[in-house]
Structure 1
Amino acid sequence: MLTDRTVARIVAIACAVVALFAAAWVISDVLLLVFAAILVAVGLHGAASAVVRYTGCPPKAALVIVCLSVAGLLGAVFYLFGNIISAQVTELFHRLPSAWQTFQDEFHLRGMMDDLMRRAEASAPSGATVLSAVRGVTANVANALLGVFLVVVGGLYFAVQPHMYRDGLLSLFPEERRADASARLDDVAEALRCFLKAQLIAMVVVGLLSGIGLAFLGIPAALALGLFAGLAEFVPMVGPVMAAIPALLLALTVGLDQTLYTLILFVVVQQVESNFISPMLQQEMVSLPAAVTLFAVVAFGTLLGPIGLLLATPLTVLVFALARPKSHCAR
Structure 2
Amino acid sequence: MTTTYAVLSEGLEKRFGEVHALRGLDLAVPEGSVCGLLGPNGAGKTTAVRILATLTRPTGGRALVAGHDVTRDPAAVRRAIGVTGQYASVDGDLTGRENLRLFARLAGLRGAAARTRADGLLERFGLTEAADRVTSTWSGGMRRRLDLAAGLITHPRVLFLDEPTTGLDPAAREHIWTAVRALAEEGTTVLLTTQYLEEADRLADDIVVVDRGRAVATGTPDELKSRIGAYAEVTVAEAAALDGAAVVLDQLTGGRPVLDRQCLTAGVTTTDRELTLPRIIRALDRAGVPVTDASLRPPTLDEVFLRLTRSPLAQKEHAA
Report the TM-score range of the alignment, normalised by the length of the smaller protein. Answer: under 0.3
> Which structure has the highest helix share of the two?
1
The structure where strand makes up a greater share of residues is: 2
